Amino acid sequence: MIKILAEDRALQDMNIPDIVTYLERSDIWNRTHYPNSRLIAFEGPKDDNGERIILVLPAHKEFLDAKERIADAINLLAAIERIPPENVIQKIRSVGRDTIRFRLLTGANSSPSLDRAFEIVEGLMDLVFFAACMEARPRAYIPGKRQKIGYEQVQNCRFGQTFSGSFGFTIEMPISEFQQTLFSGPQQRPPIARRIVERITRGFILVEEAERHQNAEFIYKNYYEGINYNMCNAILKIVGQNRDINMEFSVFWSPLIMPKKDLRIIEPIFVEKGAYRYLQEAADFMRKDNTDVLSIAPEASPELLLSEKQVIHGKITNLSARSKNQRVATVSWNGERQVYVPLHPELYEAAFKAHIEFLTVSIIGRLVERNHELTLLDVIDFRVEQ
């Protein structure tokens, strides 16, 4: 097996805390005492002589021999796990982030032009942008690119290392800093970075199904949990106007959060040239016949109680009237999720003032979810923060 060298580019941004977390979550490595405080040691499986294998890491990346020790650790893990060092690196990278990989299956000596590479990156950005918007509010077609949540998540994701094999590129969605979800209790939603990757992954599964059954309905009838018009176009932008190349999609989940049951084991998905026809058909249908598509959305699901007493903070982005005695405020909660808050008439004046003057409100009520929408019911406290 070819070993990785300390100077290898793949190790340049390798974080020691990610390696430590990877080892701590393993079934075969246990942290052990080491006399040198400059080093972190783990005790692993037994070698051929019956002795425990010791893996040593530098305590800080700034130490002079840090790169060599990290390379030694990666090579040791690769030998024990019987996989290439590059795969070990990918698994470690996935500790604090979800990773999606795209591979355009071009000719052996073929590479994209500079303007084509720009189009690919633009398609990737659009895919993440509109996946984030779909998490805020699922729609078959999203006009324009004005949603703040989309820009925030594009800035959050990272363009990872390219990899060998035709033209490959990687997107990393850090989730470690998003570990605290928006509410407490047993019914926790994953952070939005994870939900974006799940939506994109499910979308590619549906594209594969559409090609297998030669029917675009698999895409547009499941847009609510998959890809919509905008995301279809983003994928088509990645493969280019000629659409004469195949694509491979794969995903690596961070072990910090368990993915949904139907997505836990995902083999690489090969999107053949013939699939682009169904992507285009689905996109055209969702854009042209939007009202029919919306009627395909799932029937009203049971109300899911998320928190009996939830505090939300944010700006009121919209006020509307459902009846003479009930007004509804739409609150942008932490800039990430929209929450609908039915208000009693006596609270409407304060809500109107906060909306006009763009002030932050703090509201306490019972948080429920229905059809992917959050609603704060039975408001017991409403305050405008000056």
Give the residue with greater pLDDT, 237 vs 306. 237
Superfamily of chain region 304-385: Nucleic acid-binding proteins (2.40.50.140)
Min mean pLDDT across 151-155, 290-294, 375-379 is at 290-294
Q: With cut-offs at 50, 70 and 90, classify the pLDDT of residue 107.
A: low
Burial label for 277, CB within 10 Å (0-12, 13-18, 19+), is: middle
C-alpha closest to that of 280 among 237, 250, 313:
237
Q: pLDDT tens digits, residue range 264-282? A: 778 899 999 999 999 999 9
Tokens of 200: 């994109």
- Residue spans per domain, the chain: 9-93, 97-295, 304-385
pLDDT(302) > 70: no
pLDDT(200) > 90: yes
Give the mean model confidence (pLDDT) for residues 160-187.
61
pLDDT(165) > 70: no
Give percent of the chain above pLDDT 90: 39
CA distance 145 to 237: 16
pLDDT(297) > 80: no
Min mean pLDDT across 13-22, 34-43, 177-186, 188-197 is at 177-186
CA distance 168 to 367: 43
CA distance 75 to 1: 9
Give the mean model confidence (pLDDT) for residues 289-305.
53
Give the residue with greater pLDDT, 249 vs 325. 249
Q: pLDDT tens digits, residue range 335-364? A: 778 899 998 877 888 888 888 888 999 999
Polymer length of the chain? 386
pTM higher than 0.75, yes or no? no
Q: With cut-offs at 50, 70 and 90, classify the pLDDT of residue 128.
A: very high
Give the residue with greater pLDDT, 110 vs 383. 383
How high is the pLDDT of residue 280?
96
Sequence-ordered alpha helix ranges (H) in 240-344 = 275-288, 290-295
How high is the pLDDT of residue 288?
80
The whole-angstrom distance between residue 359's C-alpha and the CA centroid of its chain comes to: 30
Ranked by mean pLDDT, which of 106-115, 156-165, 332-341 comes out on top?
332-341
- Give Cβ neighbours of residue 113 (< 8 Å, ≥ 6 apart): none
Mean pLDDT of the chain: 84
CA distance 203 to 219: 7
Q: What does the angle CA 83 – CA 88 – CA 94 come to, to the nearest 5 degrees?
A: 135
How high is the pLDDT of residue 160?
72
Determine contact, residues 39/56, Cβ cutoff 8 Å. Answer: yes
Tokens of 94: 């996935």
Q: Torsions phi, psi of 37, nearest 5? A: -70, -10
Three-state DSSP state, 24: helix
How high is the pLDDT of residue 277?
95
pLDDT(86) > 90: no
C-alpha closest to that of 134 among 50, 228, 249, 71:
228
CA distance 123 to 102: 12
- Cα dihedral angle (234, 239, 242, 244), rounded to 10 degrees? -140
Min mean pLDDT across 82-91, 133-142, 157-166 is at 157-166
Q: With cut-offs at 50, 70 and 90, classify the pLDDT of residue 161.
A: low
How high is the pLDDT of residue 187?
43
Give the mean model confidence (pLDDT) for residues 198-226.
95
How high is the pLDDT of residue 186?
37
Burial label for 191, CB within 10 Å (0-12, 13-18, 19+), is: buried
